[in-house]
Structures are given as structure tokens and as C-alpha cells.
Structure 1
Amino acid sequence: MRRLRLLTATAGSLGCAGVLLLLGGTPAYAHTALKTATPAPGATVGAGTSVVALTFDNLTSGIAPKISMVGPDGHVVPVGQPVVTDTTTACAAVSPLPAGVITLTYSITAGDGDAQTNAFQFEAADGTKPAGTPSVCADLSLPAPDTGGSDTLLGLGRTTATAVLTGAAAAVAGFLTARILRRRRVPGGTGAA
């Protein structure tokens, strides 16, 4: 009888451990996987490609992925703010692509709140047909990428640069005013011995 209890306890423990292993080995479905992309990983597209589109299993509602690109020379390729078309696809306008291998990096927030960052590469080639704008992105008004042109000053957005310069001018004016007032209060002025 004692052997039967020992055998039952051992078998029960092994059964529970097996169930836990099976349950623990299932993949985390809360994470969002990339299904398709335009341009696709490994594809060759023309340097005139102006829109990228990333389609995922399911995007977290209200949170657009972050998309960045780096050209073959290591310089950033400007990308506009992504727009989510539905619960699966994000579209973004990009600056003209330089010829060479481009690395596209995207960061998304999964359904469980975890941040995921992944990257893939494709090639932009002169004389090759640009990737067309995906139909899901065609009717969207995509924000233009920040190219550092006329909307920037000192490498900052015009509004930010104006605020920084105004603050610096006010600080200098305040310093000079305080210095002048302090000199006026000193008996005998600046030449007193």
C-alpha cells in the first residue's frame, strides 16, 4: 500500500511538471510581429521611394510605431511621423533614399506593454523602379519628414530654437541690467579709490 502511495505521488508530481513545461513553452502571443513591409526586407527598390509601410499582426490601439532609417553612409534618412491606417498598418513618408543598403528600425509597443525594437535592411538602387505607395497608404495625408531644412534653426525645430534664443537673450539682458544697477549703488562709481 505504501508503494502505491509513493508511486501515485511521484506520478502526480511528474504529471504536474509536464503540464507546467507544456504551458511554459507556449509562445507569448501578446507580442506584435511584422507580417509584411514595403519595401520588404532584402528587396531592391528605386532611390525615389517616398513611402514606407509596415503591417503587423495587431498594433496597440492609439500607439503608432516609431520608424527610423539609416543610409549606407551611416547618416539618418529623415522619416515622417507614422500614421496607423487601421489596427495593422503604419505608413510614413520618407526623404529620397540614397543609393545603397538602408537599415530600417521600428519600435512598437506590444499588447502586454512591452517595447519591441527590430530592424531589417533593403537596398535602394539608382535606375530601379521606386516602391509604389501601398494602396492602404494612398489616400492618407502623411506628415513630411523633418529634413533639417527651412523649418529648423541651429539643428532644432524653429519653435524650439526661437524659444531657446529668446530665453538666452532675456538671461543676458537680465545679467547686464543687474550689473549696471549694482555699479550705480556702489558709492563713488567705478573709479573710486
Structure 2
Amino acid sequence: MRGLRLLRAPAALLGCLGVLLLSGGTPAYAHTALKDATPAPGSTVGTGTSVVELTFAQLQPGTTPKVSLIGPTGTVVPVGPPVVADGSVTCAAVSPLQTGVNTLTYTVTATDGDTQTNAFQYQVTDSARAATTPTACKGLTLAAPVTATSTDPDPDDTILGLGRTTALVVLMAVAVTVVGGGLVAVRRTRGTRPTGRRRATG
């Protein structure tokens, strides 16, 4: 029974580490549903579309969603810095879209501070009409599209202040060390345990 008690601590630690790793990448689905978008998910628009618009529910005041766009060949389509209008509408300028399936990814912060990252796709063709700029975006001054060049880790993709990959390696090393120490302790305990009673002499 003593051996079981020694193994409980490493097992509990591994469980906590697993919860930590899983919670680090778990999106909060409850509060920031996408209510509307231009281009809309699954829609077909022309290459002349110059603005993307996303309407959310209950964005945290003072926060601005992150928006990125990937073209059909896997290349990054430059997107300008997003601007929030009316507290829930996000607008951003985009460079001329590439024909084919484009993938738009967004990250938002809910009123309770939780973040959510989701994506959707839409088709771009030369023959289709360009999407009309939404009314909420027309009165905004949108900066020209830019390509992100920063190599700094995204704060939303960190664990305990470390990059996700680095943190995973560190946590796994700690887990292996703790478990290994627990097994050694068990073996030592078993090795020193009496194997039987001595016979009485005389």
C-alpha cells in the first residue's frame, strides 16, 4: 500500500499537466458567436472585394479581434489592421483576393476575458461580383493591408509565459523526472522491506 501512495503524487501531477495543456488551447465557444460576415461563409465573391467584415456578439470592450486570411495556394493574403465599429462589427481592408477557396481565421475576446479562434472559407472567382462594402465599414478609415513580419510569440499561444512548443517540452521533462523519481522510491521501499520472519534459535 505504501508503494501506491508514492505513485499517487506523480499520477496527480500528470493529470494536472494534462488539464493545463488542454486548457491552454481550448477556445471559449459560449459568448462570441459570429453573427454575420462579408464575405459570408460558403459564399462566392469577386476578386475586387476589398473589405472583410465580421459581426460578433458580446466582444470585450476595448479589444480588437485578430483577422488573417490564407489564399487557395496556402499563401498569406495581406489584411489591414482591424477596426471595431459599434462595439461588435470588425472591419479590415484586404489586398486583391486570389481566385479559389480562401480561408479567413479570426480570434476574438469575450466579455469574460476568454478567447476564441475559428475559421471559415469562401470562394473567389473572376466572374462573380465583388462583395459590397458593409454600411458599418464605409465610414471607417481602414489602413492598407500589411503582411505580419513579427517573430514574437503570440500571447494567446503561450503556456506559463513560454512559447507552446517550449512549454510542452519543459512540462514533459518535469513529468518524466517526477514519475522516474517515484518509481525509484517504490523500488527502494520494496528492496528494504523484510521478506520473512527469522526463525527462533535455541
Check whether TM > 0.5: yes
| 2-structure distance, mates of 1:62, 1:94 | 23
What corresponds to 2:87 in structure 1? 87
Preserved contact between residue 46 and residue 128 of structure 1 (Cα < 8 Å):
yes
Structure scoring higher RCO (CA < 8 A, sep ≥ 6) equals: 2
What corresponds to 1:142 in structure 2? 142
What corresponds to 1:45 in structure 2? 45
Query: What displacement does 1:132 show?
Result: 0.8
What corresponds to 1:123 in structure 2? 123
Please report the RMSD computed on the Cα atoms of aligned residues, expressed in angstroms. Answer: 1.8
- What letter corresponds to residue 51 of structure 1 in structure 2? V
- What letter corresponds to residue 44 of structure 1 in structure 2? T
| 2-structure distance, mates of 1:109, 1:35 | 15
| 2-structure distance, mates of 1:45, 1:123 | 6
Preserved contact between residue 95 and residue 147 of structure 1 (Cα < 8 Å):
no
Query: What displacement does 1:30 show?
Result: 5.7
Q: Secondary structure at the match of 2:40?
A: coil
- What letter corresponds to residue 50 of structure 2 in structure 1? S
Preserved contact between residue 60 and residue 112 of structure 2 (Cα < 8 Å):
no
Larger radius of gyration: 1
Q: Secondary structure at the match of 1:137?
A: helix
The 5-angstrom pairing of residues 179-190 of structure 1 reads: none
| 1-structure distance, mates of 2:108, 2:59 | 8
Count of matched residue positions in the alignment of Structure 1 and Structure 2:
123
Q: Which runs of 5+ in 2 are unaligned?
A: 1-27, 151-202
| 1-structure distance, mates of 2:75, 2:103 | 11
Q: Which runs of 5+ in 1 are unaligned?
A: 1-27, 149-154, 157-193
| 2-structure distance, mates of 1:94, 1:133 | 12
Query: What displacement does 1:94 show?
Result: 0.3
| 2-structure distance, mates of 1:71, 1:136 | 25
Preserved contact between residue 30 and residue 112 of structure 1 (Cα < 8 Å):
no
| 2-structure distance, mates of 1:88, 1:36 | 10
Runs of 4+ in 1 over 6 A off after TM superposition: none
| 1-structure distance, mates of 2:50, 2:56 | 20
- What letter corresponds to residue 53 of structure 2 in structure 1? A
